[in-house]
Amino acid sequence: MQIVRTVIWVLLLAALLVFSAFNWTPVEVKIWQGLVLETKIPALVIVAFLLGLLPMWLLHQGSKWRLNRRISSLETAHRTAVANAAAVPPPADPAHDPAAETFTTEPAERPKDTL
């Protein structure tokens, strides 16, 4: 996969170099009424590309960072819950535990009420 990315970047840079070689002409960009910027076309194209790419790239990096933090927080909470569940022994079943039996002095059955 890395080789594909490298080939794409090399082709993109080659295309930019060819574009720059054939379009190296000065242009005047009128910014405000009295402010005119004289620049070359390739510089204008690169600046416009970066102005469009940079905000989206920053948004992508920020959301990726936030999601990585959230995933690591959830993984930590899961590890803690699993460790706590393994540390606590399950409760004993009172039906099979002779120590849990209680002895009472009351009769086993109550007498029926008669009217």
- The predicted-structure confidence for 64-114, as pLDDT tens digits, reads as follows 999 999 999 999 999 999 888 877 666 666 566 555 556 555 656 666 666
Residue pointed to by tokens 């004289």 = 38
**Rounded mean pLDDT, 24-37:** 92
Which is more confident, 108 or 11? 11
Q: For all residues of the chain together, what is the average pLDDT?
A: 86
pLDDT of the residue at 27: 94
- 40 within 8 A of 21, measured Cβ to Cβ: no
pLDDT of 102 reads: 60
C-alpha closest to that of 20 among 51, 44, 49: 44
**Where in the chain are the domains?**
26-82
